[in-house]
Structure 1
Amino acid sequence: MLTETLEPDDLDLVAALQLAPRVSLQVLATTLGISTGTVSRRLTRLRERHALRVVGQIPWWVDGATPHHVWISTAPGRARDVATAVADLPEAQFVASTTGRADVYCILHPRRREDAAELLATTLPSIAGIVTTHSELGLHRYVSGSTWRLHRLTPEQERTLTAHRHGAPPESPVPMDDDERAVAAVLHRNGRASAAEIAREAGKSASTAYRTTQSVLDRGLVQPRVEIEPALLGYPLEAVVSLATSPASMRGIATALADHESARYVTTVAGTSSVIHHGLFHHEDDLATFLSDDLGRHPGITAFEVSTVLSVLTRYWSPRQ
């Protein structure tokens, strides 16, 4: 497990990027009160030494595909091998070895709804070392990694950076045309790609790349987000909490948990659980307080199971180890 924490100046830079992932170096420098050269050097160091990436998150409902949350039990001693094999699947959005409910927890996102049956019933169980799997269908996401952030900046700094954010994601499926898909694919890999870089990689004219990039960002079809290991930010403890709730309280609980400071990912699901809360914590006492006090405030929660993350192999399709 990572124990190193970034220096305060680097934490400030990450916090600024979380608010405005595509903002220019000049705006970052002015907002943080440092030179553009210093910003550039720190950003390069964060990329090279700590694997910081800005990626483009594409809301899963834009094209109508649906993620599946899967807990995997493995044969003794095979958890790492299984996690590695799952991470190699093109559908693997998030993969981690865990302790608690299962040995491996993952989010699998088939490209098309009709591909889910083959993925869950044939491809996944055929991986050597898997004993059992349990999957739950994602229904509605209330918060994701694109919104979780550090709270280090002044209100004035936050206002400056927030002005450079792009549009909120659409609430319902929105079909993308070929140009939009090509641009989204580039932004998915590099959320800070310039229009010139996008034009070159997508094989589009400069004007088409610029116009389409602005369109997909302003309409929220791509959500730029910072990816870096939470332990480096002072959150070495990561847990996935599966909640069973009464039917009437499911949405209210998910909405309330989405506002919790630990919430990195909150979604309702169809399965034995009702709500999944993927949270980041400073230490075990924080998790204990969350489980006993914060969850205890909701009488609609009837049971919960906790999977503590041991190591992450993939975050939002990005290899982490």
Structure 2
Amino acid sequence: MDHMDDMELLDDDDLDLVAALQHAPRAPLSLLAEALGMSASTVGRRLARLESDRLLRVIGQLDWSVSGEGHPWHVWVTAEPGQAPEVARRLAELPGTTLVAVTAGQADVYCSVLPEHRSAARDLLTRGIPGTPGVRAARSELVLSATTKSDAWRLPRLTKDRIDTLTAHAAQDTPTSAPPAPGTLTADELRTLRLLATDGRTTAAQVSRRLDLGGSTAYRLTQSLLRRGLVRPRVEIEPSLLGYALEAVVALTVSPGAITKVASALAEHPSARYVSTTAGHSCVVHQGVFRDEHGLADFLTHDLAELPGVMSFDVSIVLEALRRHWLDRESGRLAATRAVGP
């Protein structure tokens, strides 16, 4: 899909709505309308159109403690000549692949994997991915920690007053404690979690009706999951639709003493959608979005050059994303609705 065609799908009011949802994914239509200076009916129609056209979904980003056992892995794949698109399609069909993209540069295909169990990770990394037809080689690195995740990235469009209005509402859903140890959730918590993962705007009243729970119980469960950070509502939309024509995965080799500082600095960069430290050659991986080649050039030649401890880096340019956060893509649009997560 051509990037110019992408941009024509959303007008300025659509982009403002996306930005508002990024700041407050669970805000009611009335609050979104107040912040954007529109009527609630207009906001509702626009949101419904974006969803029905499969351009946008508000999902719930699951914490690693409930979406899999252990942490994710970055995987860079070298494909046989001319086989990258088909290899990416096959990898997207494997259980445990959360992100799959055809890339140019360091690798032909880049993916992130988080299987439900550690034993599945071993099989996926040693057999599933290397044994996929068309794969010539694969290199994997374990994610140790994420300095920032894509739910924190914001489209810079709204004024401070509008942002304050939205974030004041979103504060009630902001995590206040660390997630519990894996395997400690009740059956009702897991059922509620699945609803929120599929639709991050699911209200406590809807949880009550769909799961046949009392209203106060549904509210307590919903707020508990949100406040513990087990699920984080986020807007899922292709960056190209928002005017970011270039997406890059930058794998940096960093001196050991500078890893934490470099990761923290990169997490503050406007391009950052996902910054992680890894157990591997790369040390730090920066997944970022850029308006154009000039923006990427400035990042590589100025911003990275000014960070002490960065010794080298490799760049993979995303040509096409086939899957993000377990959600498949079809020509840049979201595929048919399906459950989010493993």
- TM-score bucket of the superposed structures, by smaller chain: over 0.9
What code does the residue aligned with 1:167 have? T
Q: CA deviation at 1:309?
A: 0.2
C-alpha distance 84-280 of structure 1, shift in aligned 2 (>3 A) = same
Count of residue pairs brought into register by the alignment: 321
Q: Name which of structure 1's ranges 202-211 and 291-300 shifts more when overlaid on structure 2.
A: 202-211
Give the aligned partner of residue 289 of structure 2. 280
* Structural mapping, 1:11-30, within 5 Å: 11-30=15-34
Separation in 2 of the partners of 1:233 and 1:50? 15
- Residues 12 and 70 from structure 1, CA distance in 2 versus in 1: closer, same or farther, beyond 3 angstroms? same
Instruction: Output the CA distance in 2 between the equivalents of 1:195 and 1:233.
Output: 31
Alpha-carbon separation, structure 1, partners of 2:234 and 2:175? 13
1:95-174 → structure 2 map (5 Å cutoff): 95-165=100-170, 166-168=173-175, 170-171=177-178, 173-174=180-181
Cα deviations by residue, 1:88-108 (Å, 9 ceiling, x for unpaired): 123111110000011100000
Distance in 2, Cα, partners of 1:273 & 1:234:
29
* Alignment match of 1:88 (pick from 69, 87, 93): 93
Partner residue, 1:69: 74
**CA spacing shift, 1:201–1:122, aligned 2, 3 Å:** farther
Which is worse superposed, 206-215 or 129-138? 206-215
SS at match of 1:137: strand
**Contact 1:66–1:110 (Cα < 8 Å) also in 2:** no
Residue-by-residue CA offset, 1:238-271 (whole Å, 9 max, x unaligned): 0000000000000100000000000000000011
Residue pairs, 1:154-303, within 5 angstroms:
154-165=159-170, 166-168=173-175, 170-171=177-178, 173-174=180-181, 175-202=184-211, 204-303=213-312
Kept in 2, the 8 Å contact 1:70–1:136? The answer is: yes
Q: What per-residue deviation string (whole Å, max 9, x for no partner) do you get for residues 164-195 of structure 1?
A: 21123754654433222221111111111223
Q: Which amino acid aligns with 1:233?
A: L
Return the alpha-carbon distance in structure 2 between the equivalents of residues 238 and 156 of structure 1.
30
Match of 1:33 in 2: 37
Distance 1:203 1:135, change over 3 A: farther
Q: Does residue 10 of structure 2 align to residue 9 of structure 1?
A: no
Q: Percent identity?
A: 48
Structure 1: segments with no counterpart, 5+ residues: none
SS in 2 for 1:320: strand
Could you state the TM-score of these two structures normalised by the residue count of structure 2?
0.89
Q: Aligned-pair RMSD on alpha carbons?
A: 1.7
Measured at CA, do residues 319 and 136 of structure 1 come closer, stay the same or move farther in structure 2, by a change above 3 Å?
Answer: same
Amino acid at match of 1:32: L
Report the more deviating stretch, 200-209 or 52-61. 200-209
**TM-score normalised over the length of structure 1:** 0.95
1:137/1:119 Cα in 2 relative to 1: closer, same or farther (>3 Å)?
Answer: same
Render the CA deviation track for 1:286-321: whole Å, top value 9, x for unaligned.
001100100000130111000000000111111121
On the 8 A contact 1:64/1:173 being kept in 2, the answer is no
SS in structure 1 opposite 2:53?
Answer: helix
Check the 8 A contact 1:231/1:237 in 2, yes or no: yes
Q: Which residue of 2 aligns with 1:316?
A: 325
What amino acid does structure 1 have at the position aligned with 2:246?
L
Gaps of 5+ in 2: 331-342
Q: Distance in 2 between matches of 1:205 and 1:123?
A: 44
Is the contact made by 1:59 and 1:169 (CA closer than 8 Å) also made in structure 2? no
- The letter for the 1-side match of 2:34 is T
Q: Partners in 1 of 2:213 and 2:126 — Cα distance?
A: 39
**Distance (Å, rounded) in 2 between the aligned partners of 1:169 and 1:109:** 25
Local SS of the residue matching 2:81 = coil
Q: Secondary structure at the match of 1:296?
A: coil
How far residue 203 of structure 1 moved from its aligned partner, in angstroms, is 5.8
Could you tell me how far apart the structure 1 residues matched to 2:123 and 2:305 are? 39
